[in-house]
Every structure is written in structure tokens, then in C-alpha cells.
């Protein structure tokens, strides 16, 4: 008898398994593919490995001469980039498997099928359990006309076809997935088209944030079609011909490849449906991560809510503590969002487009006025803080900058714990660092900006 059987060893599943073991519970985790889920194998980790290679290549080309570094020639080797990616993914998998052994977690590589709320079958073995955590993850969304044409890539397919990057490449979807792939490909000099249905790429972000990224992509020759949709696709030998419509006009794009990057959908197999858990877009839970069935929990992408690895991880922790008898609830109000574009984007809390202008102070500090940025030859980006007028508490932060994805934690802590402008102004920021752009934006909210 197990205390908990977890189905899926992605970020939500493996983290909940480890925490349950730390809390003294007997745990088994079942995974039909590789440990680490989408994030480790087809998402976060391999994408960032690619972007690290592309960023270094781009930096050498664009900055070496100004930095006084003489480089006779620069070229990339896609085979070695692929080798680096493969090594990182392998290391990540092995690290998770080691953690299972360290924490005495039984790992079963099999296809799980739920028999009932207390029994799970893994191949020919039936496991009896007090609790079940559903952590099945997600898969790329694909729909007409894209599912009717052979050879169209999803984000999952990209990594297995990395050595076949003939261009032009049409990316359908200008959200996070599409922009990160576009950043990688454009940095390698590939001809890229982006088609986005919404008013602008990265539609969940403020327009001033988007403009910084858009300018960089346009400088690299990327063609961006906003408020456009793909109407028809035909394939002629090795060339795709896509007709896109926007603003009353039809444009024809010819490409060697099409990458469909319009998001992901939850994996909800029939056995989960037969179990009787409530399903809306995804499996529905309360803030304890509990479904409508007392001993069944769900975490991560199967919930179809905020499909981010770090959210899935914390949901897994919350589920584990509730299974262990505590009352721990999820707080989604301060989830950081990070985009590994160039420059990077990181946000937390309320965005300017969603705020009441009568109730907030909005203050921006440009990266061009930052000493560390000057030493890096970086000119594009800013930090933008939203402050509640009455309480002077920090309620939102957006950063567009190199290393923005690391710097956002200052904003996460400020928003989560209700810190005021004075709290952060009184915290000495190291100089010269990029974090000073956060300080500059907060000083500006008080009308006391020093460096602009």
C-alpha cells in the first residue's frame, strides 16, 4: 500500500514525489516516457540550451569588435549545438532519477491506467494507494488546417529535427513559444516569418514591453504579421505556400518549414475521465490542488490553467503538504512570467494595461542610463514598476533587459510580501549592476530618480 501514486514525472509530478517522501510518505511515480516531462525534454531546458548557443554566437558577431576582441571568422555548427542540447537534457534526466533514489521513491517506467480511486495499473502491476496525483502534463495544440498537411512541426518536433533548419521558416503564433524559437533562429541568420492572430506578438504583455522585442526581431530581418491568420496551406514538393489574411488583405508566404507554436493543451486520457473528476478546460481543483474526489489531486498542465514549470512545481508542493495533513493553499497572484527573448522579459504582479491609471503610479527607468549596461554595450530595455498610490506598495514589475529572468525575484518578493517603495529604496543595490534599473524605477515613482 502506497500513501500516494503519482502519474507523470514532469515538474509537478517529480517535485510532489520528493516533497511527499521528505514528509515521510511512501510514494511511487509512474512515467511512460522520460522523467522531467515537457520542461526537461521538449520545453524549458532544451530551448534555453539552444538560446545560450545562439546568444553567444550573436554576441560575438555584434560586440566583439567594439569590445576590442579580434575574431577572424565566426560560424556555428548545428551538430555541436545539438550535442550540447542532448547532453544538458540527459544530465537533467539523470539528476531527477538520482533524486528519486536519494529519497527512496519507487520510479516505474510504464503507461499508467487508473482502475479506481485507490488502484493504478502500471503495465501488469496493480498498485494500491491512499491518494493519487494526476500530473499527466500537456501536448502541443494542433488543429485545421495544420493537422491536414504533412511535415508541419510543433514545438515537440523542433528538437528532433534540429539538424534540418532549412529556411525560410514560418512560425505560426507569436506567444512565448514562438518568440523564443524566433529569437534562436533569427540569431543564426535564418529568414523567419511570424504570424500572430492577436493585435501584437506576446499579447499578454504591455505594448512598450513588446516593442523592445519587436524592434530587435525586425533588425534581424524577421517579418511579423500581427492581426493575421493562416487561411490555407498547400505543399508543393519541399515548399509550403501559406495564405494569410489580415486587415482585409491576403498575403502569400513561401517557406521550407512551418512551426506551429500556438500553445499546448492538457493530456486527459479516458481513464482520468472515467474516474469522475470534474473537467472544464482541464482537470478542476481547489487551491489545495484537490479535485472533487477526496483523495485525487491534480497539478501542472493537466489543470490547463497557468502552464508554467515553476507553477507546476509549487502546485506539487502544495498537493504534497495537503496529502500530509496540512492546509496549504496556492497563491497565483505573484507568479513570475519569464520569456527568454533578446533582451529577456520578466514580469510579476499587475501589468500597466490591466491597472486603473487613477490608482497607480507607473515609473520606468531605461537601461541606457545604467552603468553596467553601458559596459555590456546594451541600450535597449527598461524596468517599469507599478505602485499603489494610496499605500505606496509595489504591485507590479516588468523588466526588459539582459538577465531580466534572474532579476525578477526582487519584484516577486516585493509584490508577494507587500513591500513599499521605501523598503526597496532603503535596500542598497550593488553597483554597477543591472538590478539598479529596478531601483531607478522605484526612485522615479517617488519623484526621486537620481540617474535620469
> Which residues are catalytically annotated?
431
Cell matching residue 278: 470534474
For residue 185, report the phi and psi dihedrals to the nearest 5 degrees.
-65, -45
Cell matching residue 118: 485507490
Q: Give the full edge-to-edge strand order of the sheet including 249-255.
A: 229-236, 239-246, 249-255
Please confirm whether the linkage preceding 451 is cis (ω < 30° from 0): no
CA distance to 387, 416, 422, 430, 445, per residue, from 442 (Å): 8, 16, 9, 15, 5
CA distance to 202, 293, 376, 414, per residue, from 402 (Å): 18, 45, 9, 21
Please confirm whether the linkage preceding 145 is cis (ω < 30° from 0): yes
Angle between helices 176-187 and 207-219 (to 10 degrees): 30
Angle between helices 78-102 and 44-63 (to 10 degrees): 140
CB 277 within 8 A of CB 286: no
Dist. CA 44–CA 46, nearest whole Å: 6
Amino acid at each position: 500500500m502506497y500513501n500516494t501514486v503519482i502519474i507523470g514525472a514532469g515538474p509537478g509530478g517529480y517535485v510532489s514525489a520528493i516533497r511527499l517522501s521528505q514528509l515521510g510518505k511512501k510514494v511511487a511515480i509512474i512515467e511512460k516516457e522520460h522523467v522531467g516531462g515537457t520542461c526537461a525534454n521538449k520545453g524549458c531546458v532544451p530551448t534555453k540550451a539552444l538560446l545560450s548557443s545562439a546568444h553567444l554566437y550573436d554576441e560575438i558577431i555584434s560586440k566583439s569588435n567594439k569590445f576590442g576582441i579580434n575574431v577572424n571568422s565566426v560560424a556555428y555548427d548545428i551538430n555541436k549545438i545539438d550535442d550540447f542540447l542532448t547532453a544538458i537534457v540527459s544530465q537533467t534526466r539523470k539528476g531527477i532519477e538520482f533524486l528519486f533514489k536519494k529519497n527512496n521513491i519507487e520510479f516505474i517506467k510504464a503507461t499508467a491506467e487508473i482502475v479506481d480511486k485507490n488502484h493504478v495499473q502500471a503495465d501488469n502491476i496493480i498498485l494500491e494507494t491512499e491518494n493519487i496525483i494526476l500530473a499527466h502534463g500537456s501536448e502541443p495544440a494542433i488543429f485545421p488546417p495544420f493537422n491536414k498537411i504533412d511535415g508541419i512541426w510543433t514545438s515537440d518536433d523542433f528538437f528532433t529535427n534540429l539538424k534540418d533548419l532549412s529556411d525560410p521558416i514560418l512560425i505560426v503564433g507569436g506567444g512565448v513559444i514562438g518568440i523564443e524559437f524566433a529569437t534562436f533562429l533569427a540569431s543564426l541568420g535564418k529568414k523567419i516569418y511570424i504570424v500572430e492572430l492577436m493585435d501584437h506578438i506576446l499579447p499578454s504583455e504591455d505594448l512598450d514591453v513588446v516593442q523592445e522585442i519587436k524592434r530587435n526581431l525586425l533588425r534581424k530581418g524577421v517579418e511579423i504579421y500581427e492581426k493575421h491568420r493562416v487561411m490555407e496551406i498547400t505543399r508543393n514538393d519541399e515548399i509550403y505556400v501559406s495564405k494569410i489574411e489580415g486587415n482585409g488583405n491576403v498575403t502569400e508566404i513561401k517557406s521550407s518549414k512551418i512551426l506551429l507554436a500556438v500553445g499546448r493543451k492538457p493530456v486527459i486520457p479516458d481513464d482520468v475521465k472515467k474516474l469522475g473528476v470534474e473537467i472544464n478546460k482541464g482537470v478542476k481543483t481547489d487551491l489545495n490542488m484537490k479535485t472533487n474526489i477526496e483523495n485525487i489531486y491534480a497539478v501542472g498542465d493537466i489543470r490547463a490553467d497557468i502552464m508554467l514549470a515553476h507553477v507546476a512545481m509549487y502546485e506539487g508542493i502544495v498537493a504534497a503538504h495537503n496529502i500530509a495533513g496540512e492546509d496549504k493553499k496556492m497563491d497565483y497572484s505573484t507568479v513570475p512570467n519569464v520569456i527568454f527573448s533578446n533582451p529577456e522579459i520578466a514580469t510579476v504582479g499587475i501589468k500597466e494595461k490591466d491597472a486603473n491609471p487613477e490608482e497607480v503610479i507607473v515609473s520606468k527607468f531605461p537601461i541606457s542610463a545604467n552603468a553596467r549596461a553601458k559596459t555590456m554595450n546594451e541600450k535597449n530595455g527598461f524596468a517599469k514598476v507599478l505602485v499603489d498610490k494610496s499605500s505606496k506598495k509595489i504591485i507590479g514589475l516588468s523588466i526588459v533587459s539582459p538577465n531580466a529572468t534572474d532579476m525578477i525575484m526582487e519584484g516577486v518578493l516585493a509584490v508577494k510580501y507587500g513591500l513599499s517603495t521605501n523598503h526597496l529604496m532603503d535596500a542598497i543595490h550593488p553597483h554597477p549592476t543591472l538590478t539598479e534599473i529596478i531601483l531607478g524605477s522605484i526612485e522615479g515613482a517617488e519623484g526621486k530618480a537620481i540617474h535620469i
